[in-house]
Copies of this chain bind each other. A is one copy, B any other.
Amino acid sequence: MVSFDFVKRVRYGETDMMGYLYYGNYPQLYEIGRVETMRNLGLLYKDLEEKYRVMMPVVHVDARYILPAKYDEALTIRTILHELPSRLIVFTNEIYNEQSVLIHKAEVKLMFVDMDSLKKISCPEYMLEKLRPLF
């Protein structure tokens, strides 16, 4: 299993007139969570696209909004990989506020696409090499 925490503050431009983080800005938090989790494992999403010509489009998001996030709060984005990816990679994101209360939970599924053929492929060896020892 992989689990990694990354802290991100709620910015003014991310709030809405309700006074909280706009519900549509959470997917950006998942993106930050998974990219930083990959970086922490020595995997750069940028390299995946540039060097390996593989992109990872999102195919499914299931998100539960439990409590609102306030302006200027330093949120902890926890990103969890429960399983080694194959055709899909499934990230679980848990978001905690400054009082360590779980305020949001999401499951995000992505696929792997060869950028030249635009065909679906399996998780590239570049990623599996780093991930296998952790499962």
Contacts and interface: CB of A to CB of B under 8 A. Distances in A.
Given A24-B28, A27-B27, A32-B11, A17 B71 contact: yes
Nearest to A30: B24
Interface in A69-89: 71-72
Nearest to A56: B18
Q: Is chain A's binding surface mostly helix, strand, loop or mixed?
A: mixed
Contacts of A31: 11-13, 24
Nearest to A19: B17
A99 to B, nearest CB: 16
Contacts of A26: 24, 27
Interface stretch (A58-66, A90-98, A123-131): A58-66
Interface of A: 11-13, 15-20, 22-28, 31-32, 35, 44-46, 55, 57-65, 68, 71-72
